[in-house]
Amino acid sequence: MTPLLEVDRLRISFPRPGDAPLVPVDDVSFALAPGELLALVGESGCGKTLTGLSLPRLLPAGAEIGADSSIRFNGQEITGLSERELRAIRGRRIALVFQDPMTSLNPVMRVGRQIIEAITAHQRVTRSAARERAIALLTEVGIADPATRVDEYPHQLSGGMRQRVMIAMALAGEPDLLVADEPTTALDVTVQAQILELLDRLRASRGMAVLLITHDLGIVAGRADRVLVMYAGRIAESAPTATLFRQPAHPYTRGLFASIPRLDATNARLPTIAGSVPRPDRWPTGCRFHPRCPVAIPHCSVERPPLAEVAPMQRAECWVAQGEHA
């Protein structure tokens, strides 16, 4: 199947006057098939949010995409498009759902009005047709009594309902790809599961691809088709979800799994990964994980490993996982 989205050698940099540019995303490549749910997992500052924002080119001011980077969506190159052409893609082909539903909805606008705004940004429809579609969308995202809720303000809704409204707005343009950036982080655990359930259901019913950006490996299990693990601006490991959970190849991924609390654990202290994520201006040479890596060999600090296959469908950016010994 031809991929819906192909990201090739994505590099996002922030030029600094009189200094080397900051490169929070460096040489990231991945593909996404239509209807696939791909999870992008990583710690704060690893570049996962910037990667998501770069798809509809919504990067913050000052950010630059590398000259040889390529983002192809449905065969169309995104990196060279004008603002005007991008607006036709934003919401219509690629829609974003942000982390915080408390601040991502306009507090002075009724939620129905906000969904209608998202509809009319791309389609010419009558007022009553738009309202009916807004109610239908609210029904689709599982909001009870949508005919009443449509006329309410965001502060009258719970956090989970607001995130459902955000998703309804994102669905308004009938996108082919939904980028959800930490969509459940601000929500209660029980509500988190419901929202993920909803995303999974919408993907199935609409054939829509979903890029789920999260720091939580736990919410990935059982839902994502594939997982990309990001570390320090690069993809450390890429594997089908089941493979990744069964046999993580990269020491960083293994560290992440080890630091998830387990109910049957007997040891009192939770294992952690020593040290912290380096800042984008202090990235180590060679493999970026080697200063924190428990299995590092001399080669790791000298040369950066390629992202190469270590098992069928599983790729890891690690010399050791690729079979080298000290």
Residues that bind another protein in the complex, under the rule CB under 8 A: 56, 58, 87-92, 95-96, 98, 100, 103-109, 117-118, 121-122, 153-156, 166, 169-170, 172-173
Return the number of the residue (181 or 317) whose C-beta is nearest another protein.
Answer: 181
Return the number of the residue (101 or 251) whose C-beta is nearest another protein.
Answer: 101
Return the number of the residue (52 or 233) whose C-beta is nearest another protein.
Answer: 52
**What is the nearest approach in angstroms of another protein to the Cβ of residue 314?**
32
DSSP codes joined into one string, 191-250:
HHHHHHHHHHHHHHHHT-EEEEEES-GGGTTTT-SEEEEEETTEEEEEEEHHHHHH---S
Distance of CA 181 to the CA centre of its chain: 5
Beta bridge partners of 237: 229, 316
Return the number of the residue (78 or 95) whose C-beta is nearest another protein.
Answer: 95
Is the CB of residue 99 less than 8 Å from the CB of residue 109? Answer: no
Place of tokens 């060999």: 297
Phi, psi of 203 (to 5 degrees): -60, -45
Place of tokens 């080669």: 299
Distance CA 51, CA 70 (A): 12
**What is the nearest approach in angstroms of another protein to the Cβ of residue 127?**
15
**What is the nearest approach in angstroms of another protein to the Cβ of residue 216?**
21
Return the number of the residue (157 or 220) whose C-beta is nearest another protein.
Answer: 157
Q: Please enumerate in sequence order all residues whose Cβ is within 8 A of that of 196, keeping only pairs 6 or more positions apart, or say none.
A: 183, 184, 219, 223
Return the number of the residue (103 or 259) whose C-beta is nearest another protein.
Answer: 103
**What is the nearest approach in angstroms of another protein to the Cβ of residue 266?**
43
Question: Using only C-alpha atoms, what is the Rg of the chain?
Answer: 21
**What is the nearest approach in angstroms of another protein to the Cβ of residue 56?**
6
**What is the nearest approach in angstroms of another protein to the Cβ of residue 24?**
18
- The 8 Å CB, 24+ separation contacts for 273-280 are 277/43, 277/44, 277/45, 277/46, 277/231, 277/232, 278/232, 279/45, 280/22, 280/23, 280/24, 280/45, 280/232, 280/233
Return the number of the residue (134 or 232) whose C-beta is nearest another protein.
Answer: 134
**What is the nearest approach in angstroms of another protein to the Cβ of residue 154?**
8
Return the number of the residue (155 or 246) whose C-beta is nearest another protein.
Answer: 155
**What is the nearest approach in angstroms of another protein to the Cβ of residue 4?**
18
Is the CB of residue 297 less than 8 Å from the CB of residue 290? Answer: no
Distance CA 95, CA 83 (A): 16
